[in-house]
Structure 1
Amino acid sequence: MTPHSLPARRIVASPFSDPALDALMLPFAQGVLAWPSGPVLFLRARDGAALRQFPLSQLVCEQSFRPDAELLERAGLRVVADAVAEETRHALVLVLPPRQREEARALLTRAVQLAAPDGVVVAAMTNNEGAKSGEADLKQLAGLAGTLTKFHCRTFWTRKRADSVDDARLAQWSALDAPRRIENGRYLSRPGVFAWNRIDPASALLVECLPKDITGHGADLGAGWGFLSLSLLARNPGITALDLYEAEARALSLARANLADAGASATLDFHWHDVTAGLPQRYDFIVSNPPFHTQSRADRPDIGQRFITAAAAALKPGGRLWLVANRHLPYEQTLNDQFGEVRVAGERDGFKVIAAVKARR
């Protein structure tokens, strides 16, 4: 049996599945599209059972979110940081576009650019993350060859042909997610990262509540594009070293640039790392504005709780944690279990800042 003649398969979404990934593979599972024998690229790749039904020896995955990249690597799949650097044109490009429109448009543009002549680009999005807009965008870029709807998702695809590709739009959209200056030029950011075009109000409240006597070696968990770290260093000249942990590589590169521009005297280290897996160092202090929802905006308080647990394990006895969260999130029990002293340091606009001290014994 050749890759082109794979039998139709039935995929059934379950509460534990990835609906967008299931929908992405549906045209191949149903035999609507043939799985190619040539190179296959997967942008914003995620691993899952739906993907495993097809030959993956020619698959290259691009994924900048560390937890997803680690799952792909553990599955034995090849993961690259930048598919453009590979200089390969692919018979098939799979895409799971993000919710943010500018980033999604730029990603679809790259998918078309990285497809070989007559290659196929297939994308899937959940309905509540902009599926109709994504379909319309791909149609504007290169026309549509087909669509499917299932699992509360929309799957859409095109075949790259010279007479259907809008070269002018490709050139225009390719830079939509490029880094740019925000807040009157003070910071570098880009579409798609958390609070990309503004100072997040929760982080601003946390900065207001931070004391000015913080010293020693500390960490910023979920550092984003670096606002907390920049503010922390500006207020506390006694800090000798600061480690920034961020799971999204696109945000971490911005933090590097922003901290380099700040000229901080502290020693800085940047970690592309999933904080929920634990930390490799011990610290005098930690600050954090942890994520608390998935891309689909569903609340995930367990992520913040795991951030708290990781912080407690990494702090030295007597070490201090400052954390900001939505007021409704149930973090108090985890904090009380992990720390000797816990207090609310500030509240505003539905956010709370919690200061905690690790017990000395």
Structure 2
Amino acid sequence: MTAAGFFAAGPDAALAALFVPFESGELQLPANSRVLFLRARAGVRLREMAQPGWLCEQSFLPFADELGRNGLRVGEAAADEEFPLVLLLPPRQRDEARALFARALRHLAPGGTVLAAMPNAEGAKSGEADLARLSGAVQHLSKHKCRVFWSTPQPADVDHDLLAAWLALDEPRMIVDGYLSRPGLFAWDRIDRASALLVEHLPADLHGRVADLGAGYGYLSAQVVARCPRVEAIDLYEAEARALEPARLNLARAQRECGRDVAVTVRWHDVTRGLAQRYDAIVSNPPFHQGRANLPELGRAFIVSAAEALLPDGRLLLVANRHLPYEAVLASRFHDVRTLVVREGFKVIEAVGVRG
């Protein structure tokens, strides 16, 4: 239905800035070509620089797929694996970024260098200060409205107590109403208002096999289990791998609390590529942005995938920001589309009768 990697964004300024210290001669690539790149992003400069010993780690599936299509090795470093150079593009969320700095130091070989780049508008100075707290002296330069900073710490420079504390920041943690989440996920520390509105309008007669598209840490799916006793199985689809563990834990708790067994599957999957399974119902609070960019096409692609995966008499329950233009694609894919509620800037839509 959509081209592979349709929503995998191209290289950005931080990626371009990351390699400036090598161009200026301030840093040299390791002779053994072993490099770990955390939160790697595909781009022309990366293809030019990368060598066979480079390992790119990326938890967001569309970005990971794009790296693979660029011929780069994608995976996760073993717990005890060390590299003479660790590159990273830290995220905006500070706890998530601190955990990533700690992981970088954990995988750094003695005498190695950690190198990071962040946009100035997304906490670059704070990121540099955090790396300095962990590793001691840090050097930096500015390019492309980004800050590039690096450290080559001696063993005595590393604050190992702080490193352990920051590694723990990425562990699933309790947020509200007993749900577990982790920093950096969508609405990671709260119940999203749009999802809560959809939950208010979940039909109790949902039955059979249900899918949750863009499931995040599993709030919607857990509520389906709690409120819809005729649901026998639920599949959670989520492109961010870091959401999968808290989602599994939250669904296990939901089953314990309702006192019945529901077949639960949590899938690391790009919904825009379509679904292999057919469903009696689908629920979704689809994403409509990537970073700061609004992408209503992303929500429309979720709707197309849902329509293609529903059984002929299946139904889609969708929540979205009120202004998002989903009605046309819904009308083209379903015979009956109705808005159940519009409130607080959101709309809940039910669509039934998949068009052949």
Is 1:24 the counterpart of 2:14? The answer is: no
Q: What is the CA deviation profile of residues 259-297 of structure 1, one whole-angstrom value per residue up to 9, with x for unaligned ones? A: 1222252222221000011111111110001111112x2
Match of 1:285 among 281, 284, 302: 281
Measured after TM superposition, the shift of residue 166 of structure 1 is: 2.3
Structure 1 equivalent of residue 224 of structure 2:
232
- 1:16 and 1:42, CA in 2 relative to 1: closer, same or farther beyond 3 A? closer
Task: Provide the rounded CA distance (Å) in 1 between the counterparts of 2:21 and 2:339.
Answer: 52
Structure 1 unpaired stretches of 5+ = 1-14
Task: Provide the rounded CA distance (Å) in 2 between the counterparts of 1:19 and 1:42.
Answer: 16
Structure 2 equivalent of residue 65 of structure 1:
60
Structure 2 equivalent of residue 207 of structure 1:
199
Measured after TM superposition, the shift of residue 27 of structure 1 is: 1.4
Is 1:316 the counterpart of 2:311? The answer is: yes
Contact 1:315-1:358 within 8 A present in 2 as well: no
Measured after TM superposition, the shift of residue 324 of structure 1 is: 0.7
Contact 1:116-1:160 within 8 A present in 2 as well: no
Match of 1:108 among 98, 101, 126: 101
Structure 2 equivalent of residue 223 of structure 1:
215
Task: Provide the rounded CA distance (Å) in 1 between the counterparts of 2:150 and 2:283.
Answer: 43
Is 1:150 the counterpart of 2:146? The answer is: no
Is 1:328 the counterpart of 2:323? The answer is: yes
Structure 2 equivalent of residue 95 of structure 1:
88
Structure 1 equivalent of residue 261 of structure 2:
265
TM-score, structure 2 length as denominator?
A: 0.92
Task: Provide the rounded CA distance (Å) in 2 between the counterparts of 1:343 and 1:72.
Answer: 40
Task: Provide the rounded CA distance (Å) in 1 between the counterparts of 2:168 and 2:21.
Answer: 30
SS in structure 2 at match of 1:50? helix
CA RMSD of aligned residues (A): 1.7
Task: Provide the rounded CA distance (Å) in 2 between the counterparts of 1:345 and 1:66.
Answer: 32
- What is the one-letter code of the residue matched to 1:187? Y
Structure 1 equivalent of residue 3 of structure 2:
none
Structure 1 equivalent of residue 186 of structure 2:
194
- 1:163 and 1:29, CA in 2 relative to 1: closer, same or farther beyond 3 A? same
Measured after TM superposition, the shift of residue 164 of structure 1 is: 2.7
SS in structure 2 at match of 1:79? coil
Contact 1:312-1:358 within 8 A present in 2 as well: no
Contact 2:333-2:355 within 8 A present in 1 as well: no
- What is the one-letter code of the residue matched to 2:180? L
TM-score, structure 1 length as denominator?
A: 0.90
SS in structure 2 at match of 1:335? helix
- 1:267 and 1:168, CA in 2 relative to 1: closer, same or farther beyond 3 A? closer
Q: What is the CA deviation profile of residues 52-78 of structure 1, one whole-angstrom value per residue up to 9, with x for unaligned ones? A: 122421111222111111122233322
Measured after TM superposition, the shift of residue 141 of structure 1 is: 1.4
Match of 1:133 among 112, 126, 151: 126
Contact 2:339-2:348 within 8 A present in 1 as well: yes
Task: Provide the rounded CA distance (Å) in 2 between the counterparts of 1:330 and 1:144.
Answer: 50
Measured after TM superposition, the shift of residue 156 of structure 1 is: 0.8
Contact 2:334-2:355 within 8 A present in 1 as well: no
Contact 1:190-1:196 within 8 A present in 2 as well: yes
Contact 1:222-1:288 within 8 A present in 2 as well: yes
Contact 1:216-1:284 within 8 A present in 2 as well: yes
Q: What is the CA deviation profile of residues 84-113 of structure 1, one whole-angstrom value per residue up to 9, with x for unaligned ones? A: 43x221110001111110010110111112
Deviating beyond 6 angstroms after TM superposition, the runs of 4 or more aligned structure 1 residues are none
